[in-house]
Structure 1
Amino acid sequence: MPLLRHHYGKGRVRLMRVHRDGDYNEVRELTLRVMLDGDFSAAYTDADNSRVVATDTIKNLCYIVATDHLAAGAEAFAEALGACFLDRYAHVTAVSVTSTETKWARMPVGGAPHPHAFLLDANGTPTVRAHFTRDGATIASGIDGYTFMKSTEAGWVGYLMDDATTLKETRDRIVATAMDASWRWSARPADYAAANAAILTTAMEVFATTYSDGVQDSLYRMGEAVLAAVPEVAEISMACPNKHYIPVNLAGFGRDGRNCVLLPTDEPHGQIECTVGRA
């Protein structure tokens, strides 16, 4: 039987690039599919893999090119990735790169874009949960999937360690989450929309402008600030699954990743929840 067509590659290569310029960071998160064309027919018909570039190698080259092009836009990065494979492997005749970008917008803080705090574009689903009886009503507003991140000014140290602990302490990490939050009203605000906006603005300013010793630490201080800023809120509940960004070890390729090329993953994730209310 003839082998009519073939090509192969690596899919769902996820990476975050952080271009650090002092306090000012640029972040670019991509999901890549890299497919190679060439004469790889012997791997299919004769179990001969001698010309096959391992898909794990394709993944590693994505990370290497990312390290060398931290500031490149999606198109320029795709061009660099294609050139890498064609220059490196003479028997590769074509490279197809499909790149999907997760867009992060700078978080506005104090009327200006923050240098290293970000919000996901098209962010969050506003919610209302109301319960009515003849004795009264309970109304809670909120937002689901409100996704935000900062690329520095966060750490995780001092946690319990035992023989099952493998996580290393760090004082500089990315912190990101897709938060489900709700706040229960004790009184009707003058304008629900304005009050809801003030709640998110207040919480994000705390997150962006203060060092985070952990998601627990940030959430509690965010809740405190919301209650201080909006007196009609009786309590606020926040549930925050960690969106992890794991530094890629590039030492074996003669490159220092400098915590700038990272693997995005949200499975498994830490699930941090709390409710902050008035005494």
Structure 2
Amino acid sequence: MPLIKNRYGKGRVRVMRIHRDGERQEVSQLNIKAMVEGDFARTYTDADNSMTVSTDTIKNIVNVVARENTGLCAEEFCQVLARKYLDTYPQISSVALTSHETRWTRLSFDGKPHPHSFVLDGNGRPTVEVAMARGEAPTLASGVDGFAFMKSTQSGWESYVKDRYTTIPETADRICATSMVASWAWSAKPASYPAANARILDSLLKVFSTTYSKSVQDSLYRMGEAALAAVSEISEISMACPNMHFIPINLAAFGLDNNNDVFLPTDEPHGQIECTVGRG
């Protein structure tokens, strides 16, 4: 029987880099999955390991490249790492890397940023995906996973399909909240990946926060338009937004109206809204 497809690698390779620039230090904590494809079929079909690189070695190379490149942002680091595998092992034909970053935010005291103290930022994990094949141009996407945001008003859900299965009432004033997974594909290198990523997130949040939302779908499309307008180096942006629901609690048993003030938070089952916006 033929072996149709195979790849292997190392997942959850965690590494913290510290880059020192005089008194000031920068930290970057990454969780990396590195997968390779190439001339490895005989390991599966003939128990022949002679061409196969150990997954432990794949992990070790992450640490070596981290030591040699403490100052690179995640996007640049992952590209250097992918190239290292291809340059070191001719039997590897392509590499796919996925990186999730744990964000540490610099502390400030009396308005002055501290050179080496940080607090954990728990809202969302920046992501990087790199695919690099021998002899071909690499593809690169950045994004964020689990980035939560909400607004307490200026959101509605009206004029939708109604039939005998419909129970949800219309509203022109509801909480809108989500934990977004988003990624954007780079068509050119920006002057700074971190600065460009920050502009993209700022543009998404500005549209979400400052405009009325007729639906999550309505907001997502306009958010995508704003991100593409803000950063010319991306070709498209994909967003997946599970609703974080807040259900009005019935207080009639206590002789009280709710007045849209008190809610039960719940995240399942949840609406799942997804879209990709690209350049025409």
**Structure-1-length-normalised TM-score:** 0.56
Q: Distance in 2 between matches of 1:160 and 1:171?
A: 16
Between 1 and 2, higher relative CO (CA 8 Å, sep ≥ 6) is seen in: 1
Structure 1 counterpart of 2:266, one-letter code: T
Matched with 1:124 is 124
Q: Gaps (5+ residues) in structure 2?
A: 1-120
Structure 2 counterpart of 1:129, one-letter code: E
Q: Distance in 2 between matches of 1:273 and 1:239?
A: 4
The Cα shift of 1:252 comes to 2.1
The Cα shift of 1:251 comes to 1.7
Q: Distance in 1 between matches of 2:230 and 2:172?
A: 30
Residue 156, structure 1, aligned to residue 157, structure 2: yes
Matched with 1:243 is 244
The Cα shift of 1:228 comes to 0.6
The Cα shift of 1:256 comes to 1.6
Paired-residue identity, %: 65
The Cα shift of 1:254 comes to 1.0
Q: Distance in 2 between matches of 1:131 and 1:251?
A: 57
Matches within 5 A, 1:107-118: none
Residue 263, structure 1, aligned to residue 261, structure 2: no
Q: Distance in 2 between matches of 1:215 and 1:177?
A: 9
Q: Distance in 2 between matches of 1:243 and 1:168?
A: 17
**3-state DSSP of counterpart to 1:136:** coil
Matched with 2:224 is 223
Q: Distance in 1 between matches of 2:212 and 2:234?
A: 25
Matched with 1:173 is 174
CA deviation vs aligned residue, 1:72-126 (integer Å, no higher than 9, x gap): xxxxxxxxxxxxxxxxxxxxxxxxxxxxxxxxxxxxxxxxxxxxxxxxx721001
Matches within 5 A, 1:21-60: none
Cα RMSD after superposing both structures: 0.8
Q: Distance in 2 between matches of 1:199 and 1:131?
A: 22
Q: Distance in 1 between matches of 2:268 and 2:122?
A: 22
Q: Distance in 1 between matches of 2:242 and 2:194?
A: 26
**3-state DSSP of counterpart to 2:265:** strand
Matched with 1:184 is 185
Q: Distance in 1 between matches of 2:253 and 2:210?
A: 36
Structure 1 counterpart of 2:165, one-letter code: A
The Cα shift of 1:249 comes to 0.9
The Cα shift of 1:135 comes to 1.5
**Structure 1 stretches of 4+ moved >4 Å:** none
Residue 205, structure 1, aligned to residue 206, structure 2: yes
Q: Distance in 1 between matches of 2:254 and 2:214?
A: 32
Q: Distance in 1 between matches of 2:259 and 2:252?
A: 10
CA deviation vs aligned residue, 1:121-162 (integer Å, no higher than 9, x gap): 721001000111221010000000000000000000011011
Matched with 1:10 is none
Q: Distance in 1 between matches of 2:244 and 2:250?
A: 19
Structure 2 counterpart of 1:179, one-letter code: M
Q: Distance in 2 between matches of 1:169 and 1:251?
A: 20
The Cα shift of 1:170 comes to 0.2
Q: Distance in 2 between matches of 1:126 and 1:201?
A: 14
Matched with 1:116 is none
Structure 2 counterpart of 1:260, one-letter code: D
Matches within 5 A, 1:1-12: none
CA deviation vs aligned residue, 1:243-272 (integer Å, no higher than 9, x gap): 000000112211121111100001100000
Q: Distance in 1 between matches of 2:259 and 2:122?
A: 30
Residue 139, structure 1, aligned to residue 140, structure 2: yes
CA deviation vs aligned residue, 1:207-235 (integer Å, no higher than 9, x gap): 00000001000000000000011000100
